[in-house]
């Protein structure tokens, strides 16, 4: 029995309604295919491209146009975007909130990126903070966190966490240099702090759905730091062992909570770190290439099989 007949049978038996029958039938025959994620990604990339264009224009024409001609339109854009968001936003809630309009999230993200461009240009032009330029990062991070929680935007939250990570890395790396420590330790500490912060806020009931964003950042930073140590750090075997344990934990969590992205993180970083160690003991280039082709193909096939079990997460 094909899918269409099965749907007809379900409709006749009352298992599904006529509306459900029509919706599923459209998907089966590819009359309707959801492109929301793809369009969403393209729109966000468009916003990033606009911000990149602003940054390039500011750098290229700063001497020719002057600071006022550069800052005035950027400031006006930021002000207009924020006015749009505050004037149309629903009241704050600690629960998940729907966007006020289709363009709302993109306008908010453009305002945040515009702020980053403006602060970068100000420091580039006048060097007001000199060696303490990282304070711009800290100030920006606080602004992004406030906007992310006020308007319930996980992209802005990711930007806030990343910006705070940049500040954290700059400051902690400066302190650890004098102690002879590796910046990888700073990355691991930051990953732990991000994960703990996400869990604490989740348990407090403050935007509980933001937890996954915190864990995405924490998992990537942790695994990347461990992989860097496994590939190039002193005591590579210890770093490799730590990487494999962390990767296994991330994969297990991804499978348990049905979050396929974490499975990809664990498998990808673990494979790269383990392969780097194994290839050190391969004597010939042809053997190394054969290993990469065969093992890489097996990993890819395994992920495809797993992805079919998970399906697309909402």
Instruction: Return d(Cα 199, Cα 186) in angstroms, integer.
Output: 20
CA 253 to chain centre: 18
Beta carbons within 10 angstroms of residue 220's beta carbon? 18
**Single pTM value for the model:** 0.79
The two most distant CA atoms of the chain are separated, in Å, by 75
Q: Give the helix ranges, DSSP H, for 66-182.
A: 67-88, 104-126, 134-151, 154-177
Low-confidence ranges of the chain (pLDDT < 50): 1, 30-34, 177-181, 312-314
* pLDDT tens figures, 70-118: 999 999 999 999 999 999 988 999 998 888 777 899 999 999 999 999 9
Q: What is the pLDDT of residue 199?
A: 95
Instruction: Return d(Cα 230, Cα 313) in angstroms, integer.
Output: 32
Q: What is the pLDDT of residue 149?
A: 95
Instruction: Return d(Cα 55, Cα 203) in angstroms, integer.
Output: 39
């Amino acid at each position: 029995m094909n899918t269409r007949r099965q749907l007809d049978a379900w409709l006749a038996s009352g298992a599904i309604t006529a509306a459900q029958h029509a919706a599923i039938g459209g998907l089966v025959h590819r009359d309707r295919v959801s492109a929301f994620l793809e369009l969403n990604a393209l729109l966000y990339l468009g916003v990033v491209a606009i911000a990149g264009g602003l940054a390039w224009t500011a750098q290229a024409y700063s001497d020719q146009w002057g600071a006022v001609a550069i800052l005035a339109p950027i400031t006006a854009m930021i002000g207009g975007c924020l006015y749009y968001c505050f004037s149309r936003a629903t009241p704050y809630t600690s629960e998940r909130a729907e966007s006020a309009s289709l363009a709302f999230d993109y306008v908010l993200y453009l305002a945040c990126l515009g702020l980053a461009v403006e602060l970068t240009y100000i420091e580039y032009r006048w060097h007001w903070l000199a060696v303490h330029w990282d304070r711009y990062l800290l100030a920006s991070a606080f602004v992004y966190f406030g906007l992310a929680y006020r308007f319930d935007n996980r992209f802005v939250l990711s930007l806030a966490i990343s910006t705070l990570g940049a500040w954290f890395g700059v400051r902690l790396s400066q302190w650890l240099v004098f102690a002879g420590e590796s910046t990888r330790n700073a990355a691991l500490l930051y990953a732990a702090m991000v994960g703990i912060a996400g869990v604490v806020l989740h348990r407090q009931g403050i935007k509980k759905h933001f937890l996954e964003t915190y864990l995405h950042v924490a998992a990537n930073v942790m695994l990347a730091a461990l992989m860097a140590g496994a590939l190039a750090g002193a005591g590579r075997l210890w770093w490799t062992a730590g990487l494999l344990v962390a990767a296994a934990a991330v994969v297990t969590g991804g499978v348990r909570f049905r979050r396929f992205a974490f499975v990809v993180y664990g498998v990808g970083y673990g494979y790269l770190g383990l392969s780097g160690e194994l290839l050190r003991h391969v004597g010939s280039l042809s053997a190394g290439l054969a290993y990469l082709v065969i093992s890489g193909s097996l990993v890819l096939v395994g992920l495809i099989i797993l992805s079919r079990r998970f399906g697309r997460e909402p």
